[in-house]
Amino acid sequence: MQADAIWQGGGIATMVPELGRYGAIEDGAVATGNGRIVWVGRRTDLPAALIGPATIHHDIDRGWLTPGLIDCHTHLVFAGDRSAEFEARLGGISYQDAAKSGRGILSTMAATRAATEAELIAIAGPRLQRLLADGVTTVEIKSGYGLSLSDELKMLRAARALGAAHGVRVRTTLLAAHAVPPEFAGRPDAYIDHIVNEILPAAASAGLADAVDAFAETIAFSPAQVSRVFNAARALGLPVKLHADQLADGNGAALAASHHALSADHLEYTSPAGVRAMAAAATVAVLLPGAYATVGATQPPPVASFRAHNVPMAVATDANPGSSPLLSLLTAMNLACCLFRLTPEEALAGVTRHAAAALGLADEIGTIAVGRAADLVVWPVNHPRELAYWMGALVPTSINISNQNYTAPHR
Ligand code: NIG
Ligand code: FE
């Protein structure tokens, strides 16, 4: 078989753990066909039979090739902004008090409900381009600012349309259990009934949700309410994930693990028992340093304990208008190192291999291995640790998503 394309002329950070640090191949080559990786190894071992007259040659130019980066937790589709709330919080009011006083998630809900699907697509497009400019080839996008049947589906359709319009792999997550909307004020269980009986089945039958998420917190939903949503999701064959233990230890990590969640996210207050439960259930810990920094948190997640128990750690932007107006996954990697003390290698695994696992896509993306999608990024760096080192300075040389190649970066 002749390859459609070949990358050589530099290092390959495959992120395959069996290959050692960064899964590195110093002078490597990668061949692709039909949007998949068909060969990877040392350049000197590249079979001549793979090269044909139609094969396109990409030069790594003494830099490094990595898997396409994966932002596995975003709320990218929303209207309006919360810069006034940001200012108020810097003036002393807490994230929780902002939520209770009608700012918070419900103010974004009002703006998002008022926007049409086309408007949401237009507003979120530049945000997606900004992520893509960091070498992000897969983005998870949650609903959760509609909080009604029609508005949640509108958000999910907008997310799907964004992926198609920008050539990025998008995974959608239904987050109807994000806050109690005004129609159900004081009746959270009735809203959970509405999610379980109406919103979830409609999203599932329209094929609009790849997963289901919920916000477990005293300002959001209780473990019993989350469990009802998760049981309904799993009955429909949808995997689950959870916003857990962000502002206090609510036993969220163990709750997520008890439902075999793909991931539990935030986790600043997760207890040792929660870590052990996640390890047993192979639930990925998604760390969100942008939210930690923005809400002014002071207790970092239990990274040493995740490490000791082999809980895979992913890193994501949590891009959203309230707790994390962050649209750079490279910056999230840097923050994960500086604020949470991840190593640069852990940060890169966190936006590749472990982020893929957090989306249930470990066999599809996140490593450079035969059979995986040809999502590849060339970086002008001397070592892959530089991806986590630079702060707002690194621009990919080229980005390949499956069959599409973007040699001019989108910045
Ligand atoms: O991941 N924690 C809940 N949800 C979002 C924030 C939502 C918002 O404040 O608009 C988060 O931090
Ligand atoms: Fe979030």
Regarding the beta carbon of 321 and ligand 1, being less than 6 Å apart is answered yes
Q: Confirm or reject: Cβ of 320 under 6 Å from ligand 1.
A: yes
Answer whether 291 contacts ligand 1 (Cβ < 6 A). yes
Does the beta carbon of 301 sit less than 6 angstroms from any atom of ligand 1? no
Q: To 10 degrees, what angle do helices 117-132 and 149-166 make?
A: 40
Q: If pLDDT is split at 50, 70 and 90, which confidence band does 410 have?
A: very low
**CA distances, 225 to each of 115, 188, 193, 237, 325 (Å):** 29, 8, 9, 19, 28
User: 179-221, pLDDT tens digit by residue?
Assistant: 999 999 999 999 999 999 999 999 999 999 999 999 999 999 9
Q: How far is the CA of 95 from the centre of ligand 1 (A)?
A: 10
Break the chain into its structural domains and give their ranges: 5-67+367-406, 69-358
For the chain, give the percent of residues with pLDDT over 90: 94
pLDDT tens figures, 136-190: 999 999 999 999 999 999 999 999 999 999 999 999 999 999 999 999 999 999 9
Question: Pairing relation of β-strands 5-13 and 64-67?
Answer: parallel
Ligand 1 atom with the smallest distance to the CA of 324 is 12
Give 234-269 pLDDT, tens digit per residue: 999 999 999 999 999 999 999 999 999 999 999 999
| CA 212 to ligand 2 center in whole angstroms | 12
pLDDT of residue 411: 40
Average pLDDT over residues 391-397: 95
Q: Write down the pTM of the prediction.
A: 0.97
Measured in whole angstroms, the distance separating CA 96 from the mean position of its chain's CA atoms is 24
Mutating to test ligand 1, I would choose from 320, 324, 326 the residue with most ligand atoms within 8 A of its C-beta, which is 320
Q: Is the CB of 173 under 6 A from ligand 1?
A: no
DSSP 8-class letter at 195 = I
d(CA 351, CA 328): 12
283, 256 in Cβ contact below 8 A? yes
How remote is the CA of residue 75 from the centroid of ligand 2, in Å?
6
pLDDT of residue 408: 52
Radius of gyration of the chain (CA): 21
Neighbours of 185 (CB within 10 A): 10
Q: Kindly write down the DSSP assignment for every residue of 4-70, as one continuous string.
A: SEEEEEEEEE---GGGSGGGEEEEEEEEEETTEEEEEEEGGG--GGG--TT-EEEE-TTSEEEEPEE
Topology annotation, domain 69-358? TIM Barrel (3.20.20)
Q: Which ligand is nearest to the CA of 320?
A: 1
Average pLDDT over every residue of 313-341? 98
Give which of 8, 49, 76 is closest to 316, Cα–Cα. 76
pLDDT at residue 409 is higher than 50? no
The backbone torsions φ and ψ at residue 322, rounded to the nearest 5 degrees and listed phi first, read -100, -70
Rounded to the nearest angstrom, the distance between the alpha carbon of 54 and the centre of ligand 1 is 48
Q: Do domains 5-67+367-406 and 69-358 have the same CATH topology?
A: no
Torsions phi, psi for 198 (to 5 deg): -120, -60
- Residue 16's pLDDT band, with cuts at 50, 70 and 90, is very high
- Ligand 1 pocket, residue 243 CB under 6 Å: yes
- Spacing, Cα 323 to ligand 1 middle (Å): 5
Are 404 and 32 a contacting pair, CB within 8 Å?
A: no
Cβ atoms of 375 and 401 closer than 8 Å = yes
pLDDT in tens, 102-118: 789 999 999 999 999 99
CATH superfamily of this structure's domain 5-67+367-406? Urease, subunit C, domain 1 (2.30.40.10)
Q: Measure the CA–CA gap between 247 and 239, rounded to whole angstroms.
A: 24
Our answer on whether the CB atom of 318 is closer than 6 Å to any ligand 1 atom is yes
CA 350 – CA 361 distance, rounded (Å): 14
- Ligand 1 pocket test, pick from 74, 143, 215 with the greatest ligand atom count within 8 Å of Cβ, gives 215
Q: Which of 25, 61, 10, 1 is nearest to 368 (CA)?
A: 25
Ligand 1: nearest atom to the Cα of 318: 1
The mean of the pLDDT values for the chain is 96
